[in-house]
Structures are given as structure tokens and as C-alpha cells.
A and B are shown apart, each in its own frame.
Chain A
Amino acid sequence: MTAADWVQWGGGFFVAWFCLVNGAYLVLNLVAFVHIPRRLDAIAFDTARRNFWSAAPPVSILMPAHDEAGTIVGAVRSMLQLEYAEVEVIVVNDGSRDDTLAVLAQAFALAPDDTPVRRGPATAAVRGVWRSATFPALRVIDKDNGGKADALNAGLRHARHLLVCAVDADSVLARDGLARLVSPFLDDPLTIAAGGSVRPANGITVHDGHVERVGLPRTWLGRVQVVEYLRAFLFGRVGWAPLNAVLIVSGAFGLFRRDALLAVGGWRTGTVGEDMELVMRLHRTHRATGRPYRIAFVPDPVLWTEAPERWSVLRRQRSRWQRGLGECLAAHRALLADRRAGAAGWLAYPFFLVCEWLSPLVEVIAYLLLALGWTVGAIDGVAFAAFLLLALGTGVLLSTSALLLEELHFRTHAQRGDFVRLLAAVVIENLGYRQLTAWWRCRAMLSAALGRRAHWGRMTRSAQWQRNR
């Protein structure tokens, strides 16, 4: 074969790859178009009745916090104001180096608490447990730094209720968010976990923990992430729910049965993808023992969390996510070969392996070879334009359909001009942003292959949206 043949076969491969990967996303998209209206119909009884929440099961909210002095009070207030009958909030101060604990003590009048703690996963040393004198449903665990998973396990041991909800400390939950997230547990007693939607908080207005107005981030980097999150949550997760093949419940917003978590040993430390790792372990454990179960995803409850609007922070975040994904896929590769794994094993796992983990590498190689081929004259301008158009067109289609889903069912960004700005973000996302994040993810894969340790890095928060009053 000549060099030109290699270029042509390579081109054929990449065209087929783009079609395969985007075709798979399109199928998830179509599933979401059917599933979302059914879901909204199913909860219509609840949303029409405010007093429904009084009969919902009590929930323990676990909020790990590390250096969150700027956002923690607003986040805690958001949880304490939820439209829900019985909630306890457990903040786990995971060895913060800033004033997180002092800020909490001042805002909520903390006093020492001696509630017994149950047996459970071992954690880093707990220095003290505090309860709010003004909000008795709030407790704060102060412990040595052990990471997010370790902090969640510490909270799990202190949780009193059957359901536990893990949320991020830099987030605000819509008032009816928890009530909506609990509905899969009411509909099906076999439900052991349920995930909700996460959206960028940049651009919203929050007053005393309550979302007053939803706007778009001021930067195009933030707006592009709004589109990304819509795509990821409105069909990237929803599409798997009917098959009981949801492989990830976001660590920022997930509801679990406490006994199911304790039975698998809680969250695993030592990985940066602890949320996906937990869900995959839940699948494997229940499938191995033949216990019927369900892991749900519901698109309507929304948790707002800050998205990075600085390139360096975004790069670290995306690198961490790619590393975490790789760690989880490696740790649970047995799912692929397990005949008992169901759709989680034979469909979802290969999807995440190919379309999420491997795809950035193939995409970057495709762009590099395209550029190289054009430079050396192996690919003419027409072919170059055709392949770029293919990459752009498929990406734009998926993002636009996510916007349509959002418009059909939620219309969260209802301000005049927001939709047009989001459409513009769809185009911008595919003209450099996606390619850049693919490059970062490739570097993360290389770093993992070279055995460099993954770490959380420092998430610099502006918390501008929490200062809006």
C-alpha cells in the first residue's frame, strides 16, 4: 500500500468512527426524547401537590467540604430551605486549610455534639462533631483530610436516615430538587441509587441559598459548558436509565440507599472517579448476588454548581475526569465479560470505553493526521473541508438536539436572548473548544499510562453567583 492508500483508509476509518460514536449518542438522544416526557408525566401528581413532600422518606444530605469558606454558608442554607419534610444536613469539613469551619461556626452557632456513630468504612481521624444550635438538623464533622470519598464515608457513618444524598459544597439545590430526586425510590422499592441533573451556576442569582433568577454565564467559556452539561445530563445519562444501565451518578448530586452503600463498603478512596466507581461497584455486586435492583436517573431535579471559567482550572478538571473514567473502566473491566451484568456490561461499559474514554484519542489523531495530510498534499482542500464539516456537523447536531430537549421540557434559561446565545455557544463549542478538551484528555491518558498519580488539584472558586443579593 502506498502512502496515499494509507491516508485514504485512515480517512475511511475516521469517517466511520465519527459516525459510530455520534450515532450512538444520537440513539441515546432519541431514548431521551421518549423517556423525559414519560418521567414528567409520572411526577405530575407530586408537583401538583405541595403537601406531597410531607409523606416522603427522610433524607440525610452529606456535603463534603474542602477549602469552601466562600461558598459553604450559601450551600448549607440552600439545603436547609429545601421543600422537604425531614432532612438532616451533615457537612464534613475535610481538613480545610481556610476558614471553612470557623465560617460555619459563626453562621450556624455550632456546639459540640455526641450523637453515636455507626460502624462503617474506616476514615481519616475525626477531630470533632458539632451541631447547630439554631438549625438542629445541621451537623458538622471536622476531620483530617482524606479526600472526597473519605469525607463522604465519614458522613455516611453519621447519617441517621435510610436515604443519603451526596452533594457538593459549592452548589445550590433547587427547592424541589430533593423531592423530585426521591421519586424513583417511591415508584420502585428496588431503587438503590438515583442521579439528578447538574448545571453550571455561573450566571444564576442566588439569595440566601435560594435561586432567584437563572441567567447565562458572562463568558463564552461558561456558556459552552452550559451546553456541555445539557448534553451530558439530558441524554448522556437519561438514555441509559430505561435499561438500568446508568454507570454514573454524579458525585455532585446523587441519592442512595444507606444500606446499599454500607453493604458495598461506601465510597472507594484512592481514585478521582469515586462517583462512577461506586455505581459500577453497585452494579457488579448486585448482579453477582442476583439481587434485583435499579439505578435511576431523573433529569428534572437540578443542582447548580460552579463551572470553571479559567482555562487552567478547566484543564485540571477535564484531566481529572478523564483519569477517573480510565481508573473506573480498568477497575471494573470484569463488567464487560460478566454475562450477568446485563445492559450495564454489554452495552453501557463498551459505550463508555469507546465513545467516552477512547474517543478523544481517536479524534486528536484524526485532526493531526488531517492537518499533516493537507500539509504534505496527501489530502486536498476539498477532502480537508469535508472531514472538518463532518466533525463540526455531528457535534453541532447533538448539542442542538440537547437544546431542543431543554426547550421542550424545561425551558430553564428563559431570559430573552439566552437561547440565541446558547445556539452560538453550540457552534463555538465545536470550533476549537471540543478539540482542546480532547487534547487535554489525551494528555491525561498519557499521564496515566506513564504512571503519574492523579490528584484533585485546586479548584479556584469565584462564587460570584453566591454574592449576588
Chain B
Amino acid sequence: MSATGSELLVRVAFAIGIGCLAMSALLATIALLLRAAARRRARRARRVEARWRPLLAASVHALPALPALAPRDLDPFLAVWLPMQEALRGDARDALNRVARWVGADVLARARLARRSARARLPAVAMLGHLGDAAAAPALAALMRGDGPVSLAAAQALLRIDRAAALPDVVALAAARRDWAIARLLVVLREVPATALADALAASIHHHLQPPRQRELSRLLRLAAIADPSRIEPVVRRVLDEVAAPAARAAALARVRHPAFVHHARAALLDPDGRVRAAGADALARIGAATDHAALCAALDDPDDRVRDAATSALGRLASPLAA
């Protein structure tokens, strides 16, 4: 390498080193400014919360004199209002809703729906649902069909605003949207009365019995865990009699509670698919008899770990034939 090359190398090293240090100083400054801004926001939020917490608590009994709510105070206001809303019932909840409307929080929340950030929109969506704000329904319906966590929150809000109108749409989307995790859907649908949910799910399951729609059956059947079992049983029977897809059959077996399904459960123990065999063993734990003891003992040697687990659990719950 020439002397010129050597000098160039030194210059490159210097330039990169100095550049990195300068960039580091810039990043550190940005971080410090962010921290200072966050501290100011936190101080303001604490003041707003300290002002609104006693007012909201007092509103449960009588409407106090209320200050104006500035748009930038919506988040700290909701940080107090939402947990109170979720903790209260009946007239106390209505009183909180009156306060929110009186100070214009509903207007601010509707305006917030146009923001891009999910974390900015979510509290507003939750508030509009609690308020039963029908004016926000079209915007919420559009959000429900969009992406991300706001879509599920919008579904929950629409169910709170008008359950009868929203439930069929929510169930239809719940069947198809793989990004709506079952665990999260159960939280949303838990607010729907078990009979209404069962009817909506049963109607949707009927619609999905024919291929190629059978993919959604297992999701719908898993959601039926919180529905009225007596109203779900007819469709469960149809799934077990007519559908071959293992995921759907396993999900259907998870819903059986009535002894009339026991022959389905016994047949499932011999299914080629491990999920179905495991679901069959689980079902026998609920509706089986002492005569199923032998079959469950045989399942202890199943090559599928899930089946062995389910059989172990089922044997622990069934009476032993020796006890008779």
C-alpha cells in the first residue's frame, strides 16, 4: 500500500470515528429531549388525573361543576375514566357517561379515530363503545374491517353500541380473520349473552358446513366455548356426522357435554389424527363411563403425546370399573 493509501486509510478511520461520535451525541441529545418531554407530559397527566379522579368519583352521586377538557388532556382523562367505567355498573356507569358527554370527550374521541397510531386510537374506541355512541358506528365499522389491534377493539365497541346489529358481522369476521386470536375474541365475545352468541355461532357454523368454507369451522367451534352449550349441540352433532376435517372434528368434540355424544367420543379414540383422538379422550372424561376405562388405558400407549396426556387426565376423572 502506498503512502497516499495509508494516509487515506487514516483519514477514513478518523472520519468514521468522528462521524460515529457525532451521531452518538445527536442520538443522546434526542433521547434527553424525549425524556424531558415525557417528564412534562407525565407531570401534566398527573395533574389532570388528580383533578378528574375526585370529580368522576363524585359524579356517581350528583353531577359536580365540571371544568373544560382540553384535547391534549383526553388521554389522562381516559386513563381515569376507562378503569372506572369497567369497574362500575348500572347508574354509576351512566353517570360517568353523562360526564364524558358534558365535557365533550365523545367529540374528542370521535376525532381521535382518524389518527394513525393504534395506541392513540384504542382508548378512544373503548370510550365510544362504553358511551354507546351510535354516531361513531360507521367509523368504527370501517376500523373493524381494517388491520391491527384497533379492528378487534372496534368490534368490541360496536357490540356494546348495538349488539343485535353488530353480532352477525363480528362472528362472520371472527371466522375468517386469522389475525384475531381466539383468546382475544373470547374476551370480546364474553360480553355477549351466551344464548345470543350460541344462536349467532350456530347460524355461522351451518353456513360453513360445506367445503371450501370448512376451514373456519374449528375457529367458530372454539368460540362456542362461552356460548350456551344446549343451543350449540345440534350444530356440533352435524359437524361430527358430516365433516371429515380433523381440526373441525376435534373442536366439535371439545364442545360435547351430553352423554348422547358418547359414541362419537369413543369412535374418535380410533381416529387417524392425533388431535381428534386427544379430543375424544377429553370428551370421554366428561361424558364417558366406567366401560371406557380399557380404551383409555390403551390410549396411554398412543404415539401422540397429547393423546396420552388426555387419556391420563380422563382416567383420573372416570370411576374405575373396580370401584363398582
B residues in contact with A401, CB < 8 Å? 24, 27
Given A5-B1, A15-B12, A118-B308, A51 and B187 contact (CB-CB distance below 8 Å): yes
Known A-B contacts A5-B1, A41-B118, A259-B305; the reply to A12 vs B9 at CB < 8 A is: yes
Residue A423 at the B interface, CB < 8 A? yes
How many residues belonging to A are interface residues under a CB distance threshold of 8 Å?
Answer: 55
The 8 A CB mask of A385-411 against B (1 = contact, 0 = none) is 111111111101100110110011001
Contact B14 A386 (CB under 8 A): yes
User: Which residues of B, 115-158, contact A by the 8 Å Cβ criterion?
Assistant: 117-119, 122-123, 126, 148-150, 152-153
Q: Within 8 Å of chain A (Cβ to Cβ): is B50?
A: no
A51 to B183 Cα, complex, angstroms: 11
Number of B residues with CB within 8 Å of any CB on chain A: 50
Checking B11, B82, B149 against A41 with a beta-carbon cut-off of 8 angstroms, the contacting residue is B149
CB-CB nearest in chain B for A408: B34
Q: Quick one: which of B5-47 are within 8 Å of A by CB?
A: 5-6, 9-14, 16-21, 23-24, 27-28, 30-32, 34-35, 38
B206 close to chain A: CB less than 8 A: no
Q: Across the two chains, which residue of chain B brings its CB closest to A19?
A: B16
Please give, as numbers and ranges, the residues of chain B lying within 8 Å of A393 by CB-CB distance: 16-21, 24
CA distance A404 to B34 in the complex (A): 9
Asked if B16 and A45 make an inter-chain contact with CB atoms under 8 angstroms apart, the answer reads no
Of the listed stretches A54-62, A243-251, A432-440, name the one at the interface; the rest are far from the partner chain.
Answer: A54-62
Residues of B within 8 A of A15 (CB): 9, 12-13, 16
Flag if B1 contacts A186 (CB, 8 Å): no
Cα-based distance from A40 to B11 in the complex (angstroms):
42
For B83, the closest partner residue in chain A by CB is A50
**In the complex the two chains form, is B184's CB within 8 Å of A8's CB?**
no
Q: Would you call B20 and A407 a contact (CB within 8 A)?
A: no
CA distance A42 to B126 in the complex (A): 16
Asked if A404 and B118 make an inter-chain contact with CB atoms under 8 angstroms apart, the answer reads: no
A426 to B20 Cα, complex, angstroms: 13
Note all chain B residues with C-beta closer than 8 A to A397. 20-21, 23-24, 27
Does A456 reach chain B (CB closer than 8 Å)?
no
Cα of A250 to Cα of B308 in the assembled complex, Å: 30
- Asked whether, in the complex, the Cβ of B152 is within 8 Å of the Cβ of A45, the reply is yes
Q: Which residues of A contact B126 (CB under 8 A)?
A: 48
In the complex, chain B residues whose CB is within 8 Å of the CB of A387: 13
Contact status of A396 and B21, CB under 8 A, knowing A41-B149, A52-B183: yes
Q: Is the CB of A44 within 8 A of B9?
A: no
User: Which single member of B23, B27, B38, B184 contacts A45 (CB below 8 Å)?
Assistant: B184
CA distance A371 to B186 in the complex (A): 65
CB-CB under 8 A for A186 and B181, given A8-B5, A45-B149, A48-B123:
yes
- Interchain CB contact (< 8 A) of B119 among A40, A258, A382: A40
**Interface presence of B306 (CB below 8 A):** yes
Cβ of B271 < 8 Å from any Cβ of A? Answer: no
> Given known contacts A15-B12, A46-B149, A426-B24, what 18 new A-B pairs fall within 8 Å (CB)?
A9-B1, A11-B9, A52-B183, A55-B182, A55-B186, A187-B179, A259-B306, A386-B13, A386-B14, A389-B13, A389-B17, A392-B21, A396-B24, A397-B21, A404-B28, A404-B31, A419-B31, A423-B28
Whether a CB of chain A sits under 8 angstroms from the CB of B309 is yes
> Are A42's CB and B187's CB within 8 A?
no
CB atoms of A400 and B28 under 8 A apart? yes
| Minimum C-beta distance from A202 to chain B (A) | 22
- Please tell me if B214 contacts chain A, counting CB pairs below 8 Å: no
Which residue of the partner chain, among B17, B119, B122, B312, contacts A392 with CB atoms under 8 Å? B17
A-B contact pairs, 15 of them (CB 8 A): A8-B1, A8-B6, A11-B6, A43-B149, A48-B126, A48-B153, A56-B183, A187-B181, A387-B13, A389-B18, A390-B16, A392-B21, A400-B24, A400-B27, A404-B31
Q: Tell me which residues across on chain B come within 8 A of A46, comparing CB atoms.
A: 149, 184
A28 CB, nearest partner CB in chain B, Å: 16
* Interchain CB contact under 8 A, B17 and A386: yes
Write out the residue numbers on chain A whose beta carbons fall within 8 Å of the beta carbon of B149. 41-46
A218 within 8 Å of B by Cβ? no
Alpha-carbon distance between A391 and B14 when the two chains are bound, in angstroms = 10
Q: Which 7 A-B pairs have the closest CB atoms?
A: A389-B17, A393-B20, A45-B149, A393-B17, A186-B181, A8-B1, A386-B13
Check B305 against A118 for contact (C-beta < 8 Å): yes
Q: CB distance A390 to B13 under 8 Å? A: yes
**Across the interface, do A389 and B14 meet the contact criterion of CB distance under 8 Å?**
yes
Nearest residue (CB) in A for B2 is A8
Q: Shortest Cβ distance from A186 into chain B, in angstroms?
A: 4
Please report the C-alpha to C-alpha distance between residue A462 and residue B126 in the assembled complex, in whole angstroms. Answer: 46
Chain A residues near B117: list those with CB within 8 A: 41
In the complex, chain A residues whose CB is within 8 Å of the CB of B305: 118, 258-259, 262
* A396, chain B: closest CB distance, angstroms: 5
Residue of chain B at shortest CB distance from A258: B305
Closest to B313 in A: A160
Residues of A within 8 A of B18 (CB): 389, 393
Q: Are B28 and A382 in contact (CB under 8 A)?
A: no
Q: Is the pair B123, A404 in contact by a Cβ cutoff of 8 Å?
A: no
Q: Are A407 and B183 in contact (CB under 8 A)?
A: no
Q: How far is the CB of B192 from chain A (nearest CB, A)?
A: 14
Complex CA gap A45/B187 in Å reads 11
A259-B305, A386-B17, A394-B20 given; A48·B122 CB < 8 A: yes
